[in-house]
Amino acid sequence: MDRKECVERVAALGEGSRRDLPLLANVGALLAETLEDINWVGFYLADEAGDLWLGPFQGRVACTCIRRGRGVCGTAAQRGETVCVEDVTTFAGHIACDARSRSEIVVPLFWDGRLYGVLDVDSASLSRFGARDRADLEAVARALENHLVGTL
């Protein structure tokens, strides 16, 4: 599936959505069936303090809460920009939820003028994510944000 088609699928899933949790679950499932060579994809949702709480995901059991600014997820959330890590062993503070993960990309999500959460994708291959994946996942994130309503 190319970027355009994936963004259209996200928009279709979000059309008329009145709850965020089912939409996040379906977008996660769509990405899990679309992206190759990944071992984890899912969302962490931000609370008022900026801590990130596990949301819908596909993959192995993961950390329930990532404290503000911690790990790749917290870093992307704090910077407000995508963080792409070619080799997680070189990222100081990386949180190893699934020991198989070798590379990771985290895209922050914004809604109503604030951090909403992050989209996190892990791979068991080194340097799995490049500029194209970054642009694809950021496009998916923007399409998803358009359909969030702020009610789980």
* Site residues (vs ligand SME, CB under 6 A): 40, 62-63, 66, 71-73, 94-95, 97, 101, 104, 120, 122
Please say which residue, 3 or 100, places its beta carbon nearer to ligand SME.
100
* Smallest separation, CB 12 to ligand SME (Å): 27
Please say which residue, 11 or 54, places its beta carbon nearer to ligand SME.
54
Please say which residue, 89 or 146, places its beta carbon nearer to ligand SME.
89
* Smallest separation, CB 62 to ligand SME (Å): 4
Q: Say which residues have a Cβ less than 8 Å from residue 36's Cβ, sequence separation at least 6.
A: none
Q: Which residues of 6-15 are buried (b: 16+ CB within 10 A; e: fewer)?
A: bbebbeebbe
Of 115, 110, 113, 112, give the one whose Cα is nearest residue 144.
Answer: 110
Please say which residue, 7 or 66, places its beta carbon nearer to ligand SME.
66
Phi, psi angles (nearest 5°) of residue 20:
-85, -35
* Smallest separation, CB 66 to ligand SME (Å): 5
* Smallest separation, CB 82 to ligand SME (Å): 13
* Smallest separation, CB 99 to ligand SME (Å): 10
Please say which residue, 7 or 41, places its beta carbon nearer to ligand SME.
41
Cα–Cα distance list, 72 to 16, 35, 65, 77 (Å): 32, 20, 13, 9
Cα–Cα distance list, 20 to 14, 70, 86, 133 (Å): 9, 25, 30, 24
